[in-house]
Structure 1
Amino acid sequence: MQLYSQMTLAELQIEMERLRREAEEKQKAGDTVGFSILQQKFFLAKSYFLGTKEFFVGQTYQVYGHEQPFTIDYFNGVFAWGRFAGSEEQTGFPVGMLERR
């Protein structure tokens, strides 16, 4: 299998659609572990598709599946590292999981 970092934008779009469909099937079948794995792969592929240009250090975003706002401290590849509001613990997420607030 080709690495996401080596795929073209078109290939990443195809991969994201494939992962979305497979995750949906796993969810319908009640396979929560399989669903979670495919969902994480989807977010990673989406991160390579988006890149980090649209995200900014010091800005606050919503992380998929989390209630608290998340502020970016720095990037490492396609991962944004930062903190949730009210926390000093630094956490990393693929940028594909971030949404504007």
Structure 2
Amino acid sequence: MEKRYSEYTQEELRNEIADLTEKAQKAEQLGMVNEFAVHERKIIMARSYMLNPGDFQAGETYAIDRDPGHSFYIEYMNGVFAWGYRQNSKKEKVGEEEEALPIAMLGEKIK
């Protein structure tokens, strides 16, 4: 049975990220778009477990990595996931659905 990322040590997470990065690069070179995307998502999850969820606060807005047109308003935290909604550049809510983002997808706090 495989271990969950929450059970990994920091060193194991670093090794997993390095392994996944290598696999993602190979998949990209071979044009395997779906496999590349899976590895990228796993990297984001592993990176999330290397971060401190306490560094992200409900009621705050953060930039979203790789999505410069939107920010993310956190309504609450649950483990390494920030729950809330995306905002456009005018700080207007985008979409009706609440969503969860792994904290590794969040960038700088927006003031």
**Is TM more than 0.5 here?**
yes
1:14 aligns with 2:18: no
Residues 1-101 of structure 1 aligned to structure 2 (within 5 Å)? 1-66=2-67, 67-85=69-87, 86-87=92-93, 88-100=96-108
What secondary structure does 1:42 align onto?
helix
RMSD across aligned C-alpha pairs, in angstroms?
1.4
Aligned length: 101
- Which amino acid letter does the alignment assign opposite residue 72 of structure 2? F
Structure 1 residue 22, shift from structure 2 partner: 1.0
What secondary structure does 1:30 align onto?
coil
Q: CA separation in 2, counterparts of 1:73 and 1:21? A: 35
Unaligned regions of 5+ residues in structure 2, if any? none
Q: Which contiguous aligned blocks of 4+ residues in structure 1 show a shift greater than 6 angstroms?
A: none
Maintained 8 Å contact 2:83/2:101 = yes
Q: CA separation in 2, counterparts of 1:76 and 1:53? A: 11
Query: Which one has the bigger strand percentage?
Result: 2
Taking structure 1 as the reference length, the TM-score comes to 0.90
Structure 1 residue 13, shift from structure 2 partner: 0.9
Query: Which one has the bigger helix percentage?
Result: 1
